[in-house]
Structures are given as C-alpha cells and as structure tokens.
C-alpha cells in the first residue's frame, strides 16, 4: 500500500511536470521561466522534425522563434532549416556558440539543430539563455558512428530539464535503433549530407557490424 501510494504521488508529480513541458511560454518576459529541452538520437530518428514541430507550435502561439545551426552544415538552405520532410522554419547559421547569444536576445524560443557540431561552450550558452527566460530546444546526434558520446550533447543532456531520445528503425532486424553505423570507410568523423553513407542499427546489429568492419580492415 505504501509503495502504491508513493508511486501514485510520483506519477502525479511526473504528470504535472510533463504537462508543463507542453505549455507554451506565457506572461511577460521579466517573470518568464526558461528551460532546456534536448532531442537526441541516431540518424533517421526524426530529431529535426521533432525540433521543428515544437518550434512551429510555438510560432502559432505568436512567440518569436529562431533556429540556429552550425555553419559546417551545408546540407540546409541558407535561410531555412529544412528537415528531411521539407518542413521549413527561419534559421541562422552561426560559426560558434557565442554567436547564438548575440542573436537570441529577442527570442521567446530558440532551437539549435545539429548541435553535436558546436563547440563545448554551447552548454554554457544554452544555460545562460535559459536563465534569462528563453526556452531552448537542442537537437543533435547523441553518438558518433563509433557509438561514442558526441560533442556537447552529453553535457546538454545533463543540464536540461527535458531529454527526449528518439529512435530510428534498425535496418538489420527492425528493432528500435540508436546507433548510426557508417558504411563508408572514409576517415571524416561525420560526412555531412551523406546520409546514404549511414544506416541506423540497434545495439546487437551495431556490434555485429563493427566486428565485420574490423575484419575487412
Ligand atoms: Zn537490429
């Protein structure tokens, strides 16, 4: 009975917390509370689509919304972040995370796409923006093609209020996939825009693929 009571309390609290996450910012800017959301996962998991869904919804609520992306990512249109299903939203390409601070001050909500390519300072920048009342939504790859934590994403996951790990479908077996296996043997950490060079795999299929890769080297 005691356990039931505690878990009931927990879920009540959890439910309230979750519900807050989906309320758009309201009230005047001075009293506004900021926070950080992270949307992460492998390639083909729909991170950018999820980022855009959240930003577009805020846009409908007349909030000022802007997406930042690293200049290294030439895959996207100059002025728009385009997810693979061609949903577009206004965006700004910046060379370093500090540049985000300069452009974000008038925003209610900001998105950061392909955040794994930003410098380590991104965590500090997002924290400062959230402290100043801005809702910050960060999307990016949580692991590189070797399955190692990628760039500033792990740190952002630690300081964020909300973390959503989204999954692709494993091309090996159809389970949920969280790894981005690189099929090409080129040495760049990530071949930008070369999504055909990668395949989403589950843990088991990824381990097998790494073994097979090692044999062929
Ligand atoms: Zn699999």
Secondary structure class of 78 (helix, strand, coil): coil
State the distance from the centre of ligand 1 to the C-alpha of 143, rounded, in angstroms. 17
Domain, as residue range, for 87: 32-167
Residue 174 lies in a domain: no
- pLDDT tens-digit map of 44-103: 999 999 999 999 999 889 999 999 999 975 555 555 555 555 455 778 999 999 999 999
Residue 140 lies in a domain: yes
Residue 156 lies in a domain: yes
State the distance from the centre of ligand 1 to the C-alpha of 149, rounded, in angstroms. 20
Sign of the Cα torsion 143, 144, 146, 148 reads: negative
Respond yes or no: is residue 114 known to be catalytic.
yes
Residue 163 lies in a domain: yes
pTM above 0.85, yes or no: no
| Distance from C-alpha of 49 to C-alpha of 166, rounded to nearest angstrom | 11
Residue 83 lies in a domain: yes
Instruction: Render 133-202 in DSSP notation, one character per residue.
Output: T-EEEEEEESB-TTS-B-TTHHHHHHH-SEEEEE-EE-TTTSSEE-EEEE-S---SS--TT-GGGEEEE-
At 93, which CATH number?
3.40.50.300
Instruction: Provide the number of structural domains found in the chain.
Output: 1
Catalytic position from the list 114, 128, 186, 197:
114
């Amino acid at each position: 009975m005691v356990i039931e009571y505690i878990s009931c309390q927990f879920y009540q609290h959890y439910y309230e917390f979750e519900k807050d996450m989906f309320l758009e910012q309201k009230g005047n800017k001075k009293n506004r509370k900021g926070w950080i959301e992270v949307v992460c996962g492998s390639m083909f998991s729909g991170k950018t689509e999820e980022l855009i869904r959240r930003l577009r919804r805020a846009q409908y609520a007349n909030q000022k919304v802007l997406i930042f992306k690293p200049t290294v990512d030439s895959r996207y249109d100059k002025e728009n972040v385009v997810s693979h299903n061609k949903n577009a939203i206004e965006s700004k390409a910046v060379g370093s995370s500090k540049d985000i601070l300069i452009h974000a001050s008038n925003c209610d909500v900001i998105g950061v796409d392909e955040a794994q390519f930003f410098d380590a300072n991104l965590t500090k920048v997002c924290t400062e923006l959230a402290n100043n009342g801005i809702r910050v939504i960060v999307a990016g790859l949580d692991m590189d093609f070797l399955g190692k934590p990628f760039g500033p994403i792990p740190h952002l996951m630690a300081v964020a209020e909300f973390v959503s790990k989204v999954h692709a479908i494993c091309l090996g077996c159809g389970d949920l996939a969280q790894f981005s296996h690189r099929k090409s043997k080129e040495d760049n950490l990530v071949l930008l825009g070369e999504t055909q060079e990668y395949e989403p795999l589950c843990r088991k299929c990824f381990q097998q693929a790494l073994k097979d890769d090692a044999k062929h080297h």
